[in-house]
Structure 1
């Protein structure tokens, strides 16, 4: 019971050193939190479309490994898949990068364009279906209100203003005039800053060189109670090798694996977390080591009075845990502000939820505990006979 006040008194004895230690821990926690936030934003944003596809099985080209690298494969494979037992319906999806012309910004930017059959109800986005049916009209598209305004302009606000005035909003995509027929909400990713959804016919008008017989995705919906894995295996054994059949989760995992393993960005964020952790360990270690060195005579006195090394070890570890609390709480407040600023500036999903808070706290405690453990070696050398000789 006496050890906790003693640990606190030792930490607060030199308030300047304590302030430096807290600042160092805050810096390390904020660095770790931002790297983890960017990494999670990368993974969440990468599969926003995948999670909103209404499909049990997905057909893709065997060489495809991420959303922006979905190679084309014959549409007839999708119709062949429709003949398997347990298949309810199949629907083609066209995907490509179009050029968005924003003369008010003086720029032309790529935008992700998706072509589907509106009658197929291919998406899980809330309230999208009524507007999606509008894309059956020539050159009508839906615009993602989560797209970056600095790339494409304030399209969502312009559309709502036009609707209020009974007008239509027209834009230019790949040298073709298009009409914004509605909005949906998906959001940006590291690969794409904006998205359009339209019908197959309008997609082929935007991409006149694309053959109608080649698609990028095949959506397969199964009958109620059908086993997706079993049907997938049957399809794999009977369809040609120019198509790959995946479950919905396998399609999501394919995208996540690409960003985490096949690109340097996933490695960079992971390395950032490790570096932040090491920085924190070094800072706390230096503080605790200096504190132990300054109080070595007191530790030697306690040992001469009969206190064991175990007691002294507990004292140092308590100091490290108190430091973790002192640094973690203010750092958490700063992280909340930085997450909000980053999300507003980039549109990426930066969420400081309870799981992230617990993860950060455990990393902070581990960081300080490792530092305390390393500094224990100095306590072991506290020999009363030598110090008071």
Structure 2
């Protein structure tokens, strides 16, 4: 089967590249992937698969039935681009001003379509089914959850899920895996300190929200350094502040605004961080005679890879890239990934497929100059195929 996958990957490689270039030239942001999903749908229908469109607005799900009965595995790709203006010299650079595939989702979509082409030719060897999931809006709201809510894990029931990300911190030809926690929950907090505005020359007649906000920010630093167990991963970052009018230098503002992110790997720490932030906020504002508004937005859950599924994935990937090129990541990533919603529902595993030319020159995601070589899709495409076959036929 390894040889068959390799042969079929070469057979379809030019088509996979062509699809990736098409997607890259015409990127679409979350929940606006209308042309992308149309292209995906057409390719899947050409394979005579059962296809359902308009799932969670622009999502696509397809079903491949193997010759023999068995379990069902789901393979996932994300389709959305970013609001980034491309500054590369690629011949297939984005033709849409201000929108770019700056995270590799064009490669994810093209690779999964390639896997569908390969696996369709191997269906007579399959014991079970494969669902191909093309989801919208991974970058912002997380299109995986509404697709799950619309029932994609049933009819037939999904027993396991697998996905991968083209990753700029891993060398080309290598694949990073992780048992257990893989990526963090990327939560958001928004805070408004409400004081009383006044004249800058007589501050005693106002309640200045700016020094109050400064005290809040400084105290927040103790959440990680003094309140959290240092062996428990936690990030709390204040990322934007706003107060006053830059055209007025003698008016104390009424409000000051702060926003940031909290990253954790388990629900207990996540809930604790949310409460601790408000405890600090309440204590400081009360002592200064101010009030506050606080919003904590729980984004994707932490991505936790299933141990047994990851063992299987490791074995499968060694067949694709060689034993020496599959490695356990030293540490999880503090980035977020909404594949986590799938991993909460069924045994799942997510991997990083390398796109960096070498260890000293990582490819920076979400950057206007983000680019990588098409050949790396071969690894992702073949990995999707091999994992599916090994899972279903084991």
Aligning the two structures, in what range does the TM-score lie when normalised by the shorter sequence?
Answer: under 0.3
**TM-score of the two chains, using structure 1 as the length reference:** 0.23
Query: Considering only CA atoms, is the larger Rg found in Structure 1 or Structure 2?
Result: 1
Normalized per residue, the structure richer in helix is: 1
Normalized per residue, the structure richer in strand is: 2
**TM-score of the two chains, using structure 2 as the length reference:** 0.22
